[in-house]
Amino acid sequence: MSKKYYGVIGHPIGHTLSPFIHTRLMALSGIDGEYGVYDIDINELDKKFADTLSKLNGLNVTIPHKQAIMRLLDETDETAKLYGSVNTVAFVQNDNGSTCSKGYTTDGIGFVTALENAGMSFGSTATVIGCGGVGRVFANTCAVRNCKVNLLVRESAFERTELFAESLNKRFGEGTAKVFFIGKFEGESDLLINASPVGMYPKTDYCPVSEDIISKSKSVFDAVYNPADTMLVKKARDMGIKAISGMTMLVYQAAAAQTIWNGSVFSSEDIDKLAEDCFKELNNR
């Protein structure tokens, strides 16, 4: 069996746990592989994709490339097209020796599984902070489950987020999605979701929303996993609100990527143990 090569792209990307996770997952499934890290500025994506990334067997994609990479791919699966976001790319050799790149998103799988494992429900109203690639996945996933979705964004993202909200309303019914400036939202939420990088290492003293917004939420999910307990998660727990970070989601979406690349299947026990070990790994850094 020939060695396989994988990697993750993002910017910044120094905090990533992906090599730790995928090395373990490959060992569990008997894959001889290496997993690298590629810190790529958004302006360098096209060049790096052509001369470096397309030579890999598979690729994971994180902020800020989840939407930008879609235009570089030969194919995109239906879920990724629907969500407008790609976090996993498979490079497959065709019979003629050429390489075909296909994009997928496994964020939705990881998100739903993480909530289920924590005993958290979607409820009827979800509020999503940020509307980049993963934010769109969260919004779509909530809308599929008949949630009303509030999208909280900064002024610079308001116009494009309104267009996204219109697409949700066309697909799921008028009034499904509404857009608000982050500082002007005053509504209540069954589930508050942070899909922005605010609070991520090294800027761990930041919280994406006010305490008033947090206090009006029944549960909180923060996609940020480093640190394990973000300022948002800490504030919510201090208020007696159930809150989890994105670690379990990260591991489950990585496992789904290995399934796409290699057909690997993992037990829930293996995934839960790996998530625990990821927290330990973070604490040792």
Q: In which element (H, E) is residue 101 found?
A: strand 99-104
Known catalytic residue: 66?
Answer: yes
Concatenated DSSP letters of 200-262: -TT-TT--SS-HHHHHTBSEEEE---SSSS-HHHHHHHHTT-EEE-SHHHHHHHHHHHHHHHH
Residue 151, token pair as written in the block: 């999208």
What does each of the 285 residues of the chain score in pLDDT, given as a tens digit? 689 999 999 998 877 899 999 999 999 999 999 999 999 999 999 999 999 999 999 999 998 999 999 999 999 999 999 888 999 999 988 878 788 999 999 999 999 999 998 999 999 999 999 999 899 999 999 999 999 999 999 999 999 999 999 999 999 999 999 999 999 999 999 999 999 999 998 899 999 999 999 999 999 999 999 888 999 999 999 999 999 999 999 999 999 999 999 999 999 899 989 999 998 998 887
CATH topology identical between 4-105+248-283 and 108-245? yes
Q: What is the assigned CATH class of domain 108-245?
A: alpha beta
Q: Name the pTM for this structure.
A: 0.88
Regarding the domain with residue range 4-105+248-283, which homologous superfamily does it belong to in the CATH classification? Leucine Dehydrogenase, chain A, domain 1 (3.40.50.10860)
Residue with tokens 């116009």: 159
Domain locations along the chain: 4-105+248-283, 108-245
Beta carbons of 247 and 236 less than 8 angstroms apart: no
Q: Which of 3, 47, 66, 203 is catalytic?
A: 66
